[in-house]
Structure 1
Amino acid sequence: MTQLAQDSLPPLQTQPGGSGFPTLLFKELKRFWKVGGQTMAAPVLSALLYLLVFAHILEGRVNVYDKIPYTAFLIPGLMMMSMLQNAFANPSSSLVQSRMGGNLIFILLPPLSHWDIFAAYLLASIIRGLVVGIAIGVVSLFFIPLQIYSYLWVLTFAILSCGVMGALGIIAGLWSEKFDQLSVFQNFLIMPATFLSGVFYSIHSLPPFWQTVSHWNPIFYTIDGFRYGFFAVSDASPWHSLAVVGSVFVVLCLILLRMLISGYKLRN
């Protein structure tokens, strides 16, 4: 009887070229959305505190660009800093949690190609970064209205910069086997590079040595190019910034794809 019932069931239909990309993307989006207080509200609050402290202390005391208030100068930097940190945190924490929970193997069981994994994690990290950036921009309107010189420049640098940190976050998540190892990226690479990138100041106010160091810092170009989209003024040429950020993004994506194709630490 049981055998007869099984024989009467229609065979499973498989779609040629089917992809698990939408499911993995939805899973990553739902993951950070369900804990929005931690993933979105907390970064906005941190940026707001930075804004309150630095704007109160340095407004009227620091001249950055002609006729641009320091508070206005500070806001794009805080937006980009939060976007970068959250774009990095989304895939890196997800992968490390999956590995420590023993369920990382499940992304190898469905019909997921390396392109599917790459695109889902990267797109989710970009979306989280953009959501945080937009939220900070909206909150900052209560302090000072910002005029946007070029929406195209702003959007280009926002997407590319989040893509850079998203790709780096996936690489860090694949390499790290526990959160202690992941903190090496955050504490010794992301944080120092972010604070030496001109978030709170123009690099032209630095001594020559630190100006040179800043010009070797890719995160400086993400913030400087993003700020150009607001004020049409920047410390470096926006085209040069675009070339640097675009090149770093391509290099990181190539490294990441190579890791995914080889199954680096996914099959351990």
Structure 2
Amino acid sequence: MTNGVQMGTRRFGRVNWMGLYTLSAREIQRFMAVWTQTLMAPLITAGLFMMIFSIAIGPRRGEVMGVDFTTFIAPGILMMTVIQNAFANTSSSIVIGKVQGNIVDTLMPPLSPVELVIGYLAGGTGRGLMVALAIGLGLLVFLGIEVRHPVWALTFVILGAAFLSGLGIVAGVFANKFDQMAAITNFVITPLAFLSGTFYSVTALPPFLETVTRYNPIFYMIDGVRYGVIGVSDGSPWTGLAVGIGATLAISVIAWWMFARGYRLKA
């Protein structure tokens, strides 16, 4: 006992609210400080995707699942942009800290592994939500696409951003160099995003590929947002909700384990 406090007991209580708030605020301020790169650039990229596919394919494609092709791909492009930015936020934060050697500034304060995971997730999810809001407003203003089921859309945007933020933590801890991080982004995240029903209905795939796609959690995130925005989907939103929650919890546990063990974080 020391001054009435048992050794090993944090004086902050069960949760270090101040530390958790500080880490979350830092992660949010990171992307807000360069908003032209982190918020404006994704909006422009999504707009270019919409314009290119609308001009090149839209007029000849016909309807997909009862809606025109441009309307069909809009939620997929929105969600694809959200997950890419959520992943980039957490992964870049950790890799930069490791390369520059200042990751110790995050690990040394009295933050538990759970608090570290939540703090990083808050930053990545916050960026994903802001990107979704910006693109959603663009779809409403320029294409007149209104959100049919706002609660479902918001739920899947949050789940998708949280899942990819957790995946970004895992990738950032695993990678020791920028080229390793680039390899993970190019050969894992981008294919998963593009091959998850962003630009097509999975029912149009051969049976084997459709089955494989349905094992991809990102498919359910994109499909769920499509249901929330335009009211059509390849599967039940309830199934997507269960998969999304399960995948997010699973990746968060892996991230917690990495922080708890100091995996690839301790010299």
Q: Percent identity of the aligned residues? A: 43
Q: Give the whole-Å Cα distance in 2 for the aligned partners of 1:26 and 1:143.
A: 33
Q: Indicate the larger mover: 140-149 or 20-29.
A: 140-149
Residues 22, 58 of structure 1: alpha-carbon distance in 2 compared, 3 angstrom cutoff: same
In the alignment, which residue of structure 2 is the partner of 1:87? 86
Contact 1:194 1:219 in 2 (8 A): yes
- Deviation, structure 1 residue 15: 5.8
1:52-201 equivalences in 2 (<5 Å): 52-62=51-61, 63-66=63-66, 68-201=67-200
Q: Indicate the larger mover: 71-80 or 209-218.
A: 209-218
Query: What is the SS of the residue equivalent to 1:245?
Result: helix
Contact 2:27 2:122 in 1 (8 A): no
- Deviation, structure 1 residue 82: 0.5
TM-score by length of 1: 0.90
In the alignment, which residue of structure 2 is the partner of 1:27? 26
- Does residue 12 of structure 2 align to residue 16 of structure 1? yes
Q: Indicate the larger mover: 226-235 or 16-25.
A: 16-25
1:227-246 equivalences in 2 (<5 Å): 227-246=226-245
- Deviation, structure 1 residue 137: 1.3
- Deviation, structure 1 residue 187: 1.2
The one-letter amino acid of 2:110's match is P
Contact 2:140 2:146 in 1 (8 A): no
Q: Give the whole-Å Cα distance in 1 for the aligned partners of 2:258 and 2:121.
A: 14
Q: Give the whole-Å Cα distance in 1 for the aligned partners of 2:205 and 2:237.
A: 20
Residues 232, 266 of structure 1: alpha-carbon distance in 2 compared, 3 angstrom cutoff: same
Q: Which runs of 5+ in 1 are unaligned?
A: 1-13
- Deviation, structure 1 residue 59: 2.0
1:184-204 Cα deviation digits (max 9, x unpaired)? 221111111111111111112
Q: Give the whole-Å Cα distance in 1 for the aligned partners of 2:145 and 2:107.
A: 46
The one-letter amino acid of 2:189's match is I
Q: Which runs of 5+ in 2 are unaligned?
A: 1-9
In the alignment, which residue of structure 1 is the partner of 2:4? none
In the alignment, which residue of structure 1 is the partner of 2:5? none
In the alignment, which residue of structure 2 is the partner of 1:7? none
Contact 1:21 1:116 in 2 (8 A): yes
Contact 1:75 1:137 in 2 (8 A): no
- Deviation, structure 1 residue 182: 1.0
Query: What is the SS of the residue equivalent to 2:64?
Result: coil
The one-letter amino acid of 2:243's match is V
Query: What is the SS of the residue equivalent to 1:174?
Result: helix
Q: Give the whole-Å Cα distance in 1 for the aligned partners of 2:225 and 2:11.
A: 42
1:111-135 Cα deviation digits (max 9, x unpaired)? 2221221111001100001101111
Q: Give the whole-Å Cα distance in 2 for the aligned partners of 1:213 and 1:119.
A: 31
Q: Give the whole-Å Cα distance in 1 for the aligned partners of 2:140 and 2:147.
A: 12
Root-mean-square deviation (CA, aligned residues, Å) is 1.5
- Deviation, structure 1 residue 212: 2.0
1:217-267 Cα deviation digits (max 9, x unpaired)? 211111001111122221111111112111111111111111111122222
Residues 202, 16 of structure 1: alpha-carbon distance in 2 compared, 3 angstrom cutoff: closer
Q: Give the whole-Å Cα distance in 2 for the aligned partners of 1:203 and 1:16.
A: 50
1:18-44 Cα deviation digits (max 9, x unpaired)? 441111111111111111111111111
Q: Give the whole-Å Cα distance in 1 for the aligned partners of 2:107 and 2:201.
A: 46
Q: Give the whole-Å Cα distance in 2 for the aligned partners of 1:108 and 1:36.
A: 26
Rg comparison, structure with higher value:
1
The one-letter amino acid of 2:149's match is S
Segments of 4+ in structure 1 off by > 4 A? Answer: none
Q: Give the whole-Å Cα distance in 2 for the aligned partners of 1:115 and 1:194.
A: 27
